Structure 1
Amino acid sequence: MTLRADAAGRERDRERTLAWLRGVSGELASATIKRLEETLPWYGEMPPGRRSAVGMVAQAGISSFISWFEDPRATPWVAADVFGAAPRELLRSVSLQQTLQLIRVVVEVVEDRAKDGDDVLQEAILMYSREVAFASADVYARAAEARGLWDARLEALVVDSILSGEYDDELPSRIAALGWHGHGEVAVLVGTAPRQLEVDTLRRTARHMDADVLIGVQGSRLVVVIGRATPRDDTPDGEEPVSFMTIATALEPSFGEGHLVLGNEVPGVVDASTSAKAALAGFAVARAWRGAPRPALADDLLPERAFAGDPLARTALVQRIYTPLKDSSTELLQTLWCYLDTGRSLEATARELFVHPNTVRYRLRRVADIIGWDATHARDALIVQSALIIGAMSESAATRRRPTRR
C-alpha cells in the first residue's frame, strides 16, 4: 500500500511539474534568445535569417524536452525533434562547437528557471542535455561522412577528367569545391595503388612540402595530381621552389610496390592532362628500363614511350633534341651521330672526323649544353640516339610528302 501511494505521489508531482513546464515554455524560449545574444558573440554576428533558424532550434529543444519529460520512451530520436526544423544550410554555417554552446545556454536557462524544482526535474534536465549533446555529435558526424563521400566522388570525377583530357569549363569550379590549395605549377604522379591507401597521410605529406594533391584510384593504379601552393614566379628572390621530384620522393611511401613515374611540369591544373598522359605512358613502359629509379621522370622514359608508339614522346624527342641540334650546328649533329655510331668511342670518332679527341670532347659538351642530355652517359646516349633516329625518319617522311616542282 505504501509503495503504491509513493508511486501515486511521484506521478502527481510529475504532472504538476509538467504543467508548470508547459506554462513557462514561452518564457523559457524568450529567456534563451536573450541569453544567446548576451553570451555568444557569434550569434549576434549572424544574418537575421540564420539567427532566426538558431532560435527555432533552441525553441525546438525546449518543446522536445517537455515532450520527453512527459514520456521519455515516446521520443527516442532526439536529433530529429531538435534539428528537424533547422534548414540544411544551418549545419554548414554553425559548427559543432557552437551547437554545443547553444545547448549549454538552453540547459542553463532551464536550470536557472527550475532551480527550486524537485529532484526529478533536475535529473531529467541532466539526462536530456546529455541525449541532445550526443544527438548533436551524431548529426554532425553523419553530415561530415556524407560530405566526405561526396568529396571523394567529386575528386574521382576530377581526376578522371584530367586523365582523359575530356573536361569542360566547370573543371576549375569543381576543383575549387574540393578546397584545392594549389595555385602554381602542376605535375601528375602515377604508381601502383597500395592495399590500404592512407589518404590523410598522403595529403599531410604534401602540405608539409607546400603542395596540395588530388587523389584518384583506377583499378590497380594510384594517380596523384600534385600542385604547388605558391607559383614559381611568386617565390621570393634567392629561393628555389621545392621540385616536383622532391615532392614525389616524399610521397613515394604511400604508393604500392612497383614503378612510380612523374609527369612533366605544366603551368596549372587545367593543363594537367598533358602531364597525366606522359606519366601514364611512362608507367606503362617503365618495366622496359631495368634500372628505372623510383620515382622516375616520364621524360627519362622517352625512348621506351616512343618505341611503344606514344606520339607525345616522339614529338618531344624531335623538338627538344634533334631540331635544336640541327638548327644550332650541323657540325655538332654530325659529331654526335658519329660518336654514337662508333660505340661512344672518342678515338674512333676523332679518326673518322679527322679531328683531335679533345675537339670531340668539346663538341659533346656543347651538345649537352644545348639539349640538356649528356651523350657520354649510357642512359642519356639512348635518349639522344632515339631522338636522332626519329628525327631523321620524320625528316625523310616530310621530304617524301613534299611535292616535286616541274
Structure 2
Amino acid sequence: MSGTRETTLSAATFAALDHASGKIASAALAAMEDQFPWFGRMPAEQRASVLFIAQTGAAGFTAWLRDPTGARKLTTDAFRSAPQDLSRWISLRQTVELVRVALQVLERQVPELAADEPERQVLTEAVLRYGREVAFTSAMSYASAAEARGAWDARLEASVVDGIVRGDAEESLLSRAAALGWDPAAEATVLVGNTSSDDPPTVIYEVRSRAARVGRSVLLGVQGARLVVLLAGPSEQTVLNRMVNAFGPGPVVAGPTVSSIAEAHRSSADALSGLRAVVAWPAAPRPVRSAELLPERALAGDPEAERQLIDRVARPLEQAGGGLLETVETYLETGGVLESCARQLFVHPNTVRYRLRKAAEITGCNANLPRDALVLRVALAVGRLSRSRGLW
C-alpha cells in the first residue's frame, strides 16, 4: 500500500504538501475562529495548543502518506502533550467540532496540491482515511483523560471517606469533598457493611447506580471487605432499604444522620460500633440503625452507647419521679407479670399500667415488648454501674 502511494504521488506533490502544512494549519485555525465564537474567547495559551495540534496533524498527513502503517503513532503525536490541559477547557463535543472543521480545510486544500487529476483522487481518498484516524485518536485522548481523572477522583474520594472514619476534621477534608461535588451543608448518614464483590469498580458502580435512583449524592470507600458509604440527605427508611442492596451479604448498619459532613465522623463511629456489635443480635433488621443496637454496643464496651442509654433511658426515668423508675425495674424483675409487679409495689395494677405507659412516652421503650425490655434492662444496668463509679 505504501509502495503504491509512493509511485502514484510524485515528488512534486510531496514537496507541495510539505511546504503547505503550516498554511493549512493556519487556515484551519482561522476557520475555527470564524465558525465558533467560543473558540475566539479561549485563552491564548489554549488556542496555541490547538494550533500546535493542527500543525502537527497537517505535517503528519504527509508522513502518513509515505507510511500508512505508522498512522496511529503519527496521529497520536498530535495529541500527546496538549489534551490533558486542553480537555479542561473544551469538551469532547467541541473537540469533534474543531476536528471536523480542520478536516474540511484539509479536504478543500490538499487535493489542490496534486500534480494531476489521478493524484487528486489519491489525495481526496487519503484525506478521508486520515480524518478517520484523527477522529479516533482525539476520542481516545479524551477517553484516556477521563480515565485518569476518574482514577484521581476515586483516590481523592477514598481519602475523604478514610478521613471521616479516622475522625479528621481539617478544612482540607471539607475542601476535598467539595471538589468531588459534595454539598458541605448537606445532611449526611454513614452506612457500613460488606462489599458485594471482590472487584472495587463493580462495587462502586452498584453504589452509584442505586444512589442515582434515589436521587442522592454519595461518597464511598472500599476498605478491604468493608464498604463505607456516606449518603447525602435525611435517612428515610425507604432510601436505606434501597441502598442496602448495594452491599454484600451480612448486616448493614446506618449511623445517625448528622447536619453536615463536618460531623460525619460521629455517624461513622456509631455505624462501625454497631457493625462490630450486631453479631449479638442475630434477628437484627437489614439495614439496622446504630441507635437500635445500643444494648449490644454497650455490652461490647462502647462508652458512647453507654452514654446514650443513660441520656435516653436511665436519667429521664429517674428525673421523671412518680415511681416510674422503680415500677419499670420491678416489672422487669417480675418477668413482665403485671399483678406480681403491683403486689410488690403495693399499688393497683392500673397504676402499674399508667406508669409503664408514661415510661414508654418518656423513653420510647415499651416494657411489654421483648426488644424494648432488653433496652430498658441494659440501660438501667449501665446507669447503676455509672452511678457506682461516680460518673453520674
TM-score by length of structure 2 reads 0.90
Shift of 1:298: 1.0
- The within-5 A match list for 1:3-402 is 11=7, 13-73=9-69, 76-86=72-82, 88-116=84-112, 117=114, 118-181=120-183, 183-195=185-197, 196=199, 197-228=202-233, 243-329=235-321, 331-398=323-390
CA displacement 1:343-370 (0-9 Å, x = unmatched): 1222222222222222222222222222
| In 1, Cα distance between equivalents of 2:171 and 2:212 | 27
| In 2, Cα distance between equivalents of 1:170 and 1:191 | 27
Shift of 1:176: 1.7
Shift of 1:14: 3.5
| In 1, Cα distance between equivalents of 2:173 and 2:216 | 19
Shift of 1:74: 5.1
| In 2, Cα distance between equivalents of 1:8 and 1:281 | 74
Percent of residue pairs identical: 44
SS at structure 2 position matched to 1:125: helix
CA displacement 1:241-272 (0-9 Å, x = unmatched): x5343222101221111111111111111211
CA displacement 1:51-86 (0-9 Å, x = unmatched): 232232222221222332343345641344212352
Tell which deviates more after alignment, 55-64 or 94-103.
55-64
SS at structure 1 position matched to 2:336: coil
Task: Classify 1:330/1:64 alpha carbon distance in 2 versus 1 (closer, same or farther; 3 Å).
Answer: farther
| In 2, Cα distance between equivalents of 1:181 and 1:103 | 37
| In 1, Cα distance between equivalents of 2:223 and 2:77 | 43
Partner amino acid for 1:318? I
| In 2, Cα distance between equivalents of 1:128 and 1:109 | 13
Shift of 1:9: 10
Partner amino acid for 1:139? S
Tell which deviates more after alignment, 346-355 or 119-128.
346-355
| In 1, Cα distance between equivalents of 2:132 and 2:61 | 12
Task: Classify 1:218/1:201 alpha carbon distance in 2 versus 1 (closer, same or farther; 3 Å).
Answer: closer
Shift of 1:87: 6.5
- Structure 2 gap segments, 5+ residues each: 115-119
Task: Classify 1:85/1:157 alpha carbon distance in 2 versus 1 (closer, same or farther; 3 Å).
Answer: closer
Task: Classify 1:8/1:395 alpha carbon distance in 2 versus 1 (closer, same or farther; 3 Å).
Answer: closer
| In 1, Cα distance between equivalents of 2:239 and 2:247 | 13
| In 2, Cα distance between equivalents of 1:27 and 1:268 | 57
Task: Classify 1:46/1:330 alpha carbon distance in 2 versus 1 (closer, same or farther; 3 Å).
Answer: farther
CA contact (8 A) 2:210 2:246 kept: no
SS at structure 2 position matched to 1:92: coil
Partner amino acid for 2:368? T
Counterpart of 1:232 in structure 2 is: none
| In 2, Cα distance between equivalents of 1:320 and 1:8 | 88
CA displacement 1:78-135 (0-9 Å, x = unmatched): 3442123527321222222221211111110111123554111112111111111111
Shift of 1:330: 5.1
Task: Classify 1:45/1:66 alpha carbon distance in 2 versus 1 (closer, same or farther; 3 Å).
Answer: same
| In 2, Cα distance between equivalents of 1:374 and 1:30 | 82
TM-score by length of structure 1 reads 0.87
CA contact (8 A) 1:187 1:244 kept: no
CA contact (8 A) 1:156 1:217 kept: yes
CA contact (8 A) 1:78 1:131 kept: no
| In 2, Cα distance between equivalents of 1:76 and 1:226 | 44
